[in-house]
Structure 1
Amino acid sequence: MIQLEDVPPLHGPRPHGAERVRRRAPRERRPARARVGRRGVLAGLAAAGAAVGLNALGVFPPARQALAAGYRAPGGYQIYPRCPSYAANHNCSPGCGPSVVCSDCCRTSGTYKGYHKSGKSHPGKYKLRPNQCYGGGWDGWLWAYSRRCGSCARGVTWRCHDGWKKSSRGSWYKTICRKATSCRK
């Protein structure tokens, strides 16, 4: 038979020596160290070996450097990773932007091949426009077109590098050197 002293009160302080009431089920304890079986180790080694072998055969494409923050080109040129908004609706030609795209503005040899000609390489005829792209801080940008463009059946990515060219009348006008960095055939 239950005695009155054995019945806990509904209100007030907890009686001396009484256990706390748990509102959640106790959690199961995990062993301190889980052991990996021999089959697990062998399966992991087989998967790693298969991946290395397939990579050696060229099944996986090579890793490319991420361009999320742009990159530094030869000569310290800062290249923006994507087309600025003012050239977003351009088609295959001219692409790149509102300035004149001219093929004779690009260097054809040396370290700076595919970049705009400068006053050092062609004094009095060409100048660069450093930090003028996309609100300053960038010297060029990448511009992609995903449809047929010349010999590129599935699209092209251009590196656009801006500068100035002097006209035959002696006035300077904005120009862009456009160099294909990838052609999807």
Structure 2
Amino acid sequence: MIELEDIPPLRGPRPAGASRVRRRPVPQEEPRFRPVRRSVLTGLAAAGATAGLKALGVFPPAREALASGFQLVGYYDIYPRCPSYAANHNCSPGCGPSYVCSWCCRTSGKYKGFHKSGVSNPGWYKLRPNQCYGGGYDGWLWAYSKSCGQCKKGVTWRCHDGWKKSKKGNWYKTICRKAMACKN
């Protein structure tokens, strides 16, 4: 049986007659990477689970990253993705809540495929600059990934907004929609 006096104290002064222990420094070696078996097995299990879930279609397909904004032609700044208010639209009309029309797009010139303006059609059309996506863009790209017209596997539209004057003299919001990419 161990007596209380036989147990050395953890703190406090060194007991009388106890020798001082000197430690020598351990020679330093270059650290080597040696994976632990548990880490390797955990990594393999995680990779296998991810591949399995991907094969089952749990994860959506990756999309190409787009910049926050870019210039297309001249001074039109087009936002690279669809604003939230048009996210659930289908093939037609696409683009957004305003009236989508092909006849409000320019058919020739430097700005072909953009909304008609007061310069191209005075008195009947005008643009809505900087009113898309929080006031920083003149239009946006909108993509639909199912069959749409001649595009069997999806279409990407450029949506450019403006105004059209009715025969009664009232202005209403319109969107020029131009196909930028067609997947077949």
Over 4 Å off, 4+ runs: none
SS of 2:85's equivalent in the other structure is: helix
Relative to 1, partners in 2 of residues 1:26 and 1:112: Cα closer, same or farther, differing over 3 Å? farther
Q: Which runs of 5+ in 2 are unaligned?
A: 1-9, 13-21, 32-63
Offset at residue 110 of structure 1 (A): 1.6
Amino acid at match of 1:141: W
Give, in whole Å, the separation in 2 of the partners of 1:161 and 1:145: 17
Aligned residue number for residue 159 of structure 1 = 158
User: What is the root-mean-square deviation of aligned Cα atoms in Å?
Assistant: 2.9
Mean Cα deviation higher: 103-112 or 175-184 = 103-112
CA deviation vs aligned residue, 1:116-142 (integer Å, no higher than 9, x gap): 011111111110000111221110001
**Which residue does the alignment assign to 2:82?**
83
**TM-score normalised by length of structure 1:** 0.67
Name the CA distance, whole Å, in 2 between partners of 1:169 and 1:27.
Answer: 90
Q: Look up the SS of the partner of 1:86 in the other structure.
A: helix
Structure 2 residue matching 1:104: 3-state secondary structure: coil
How many aligned residue pairs are there?
Answer: 142
Gaps of 5+ in 1: 1-9, 13-17, 31-64
1:158 deviates by: 0.2
The letter for the 2-side match of 1:166 is K
Taking the aligned partners of 1:104 and 1:66, their CA distance within structure 2 comes to 32
SS in 1 for 2:74: helix
Amino acid at match of 1:128: L
Say which SS state the counterpart of residue 73 (structure 1) adopts.
strand
Three-state SS of the structure 2 residue aligned to 1:162 is strand
Distance in 1 between the 2:70 and 2:84 partners? Answer: 19
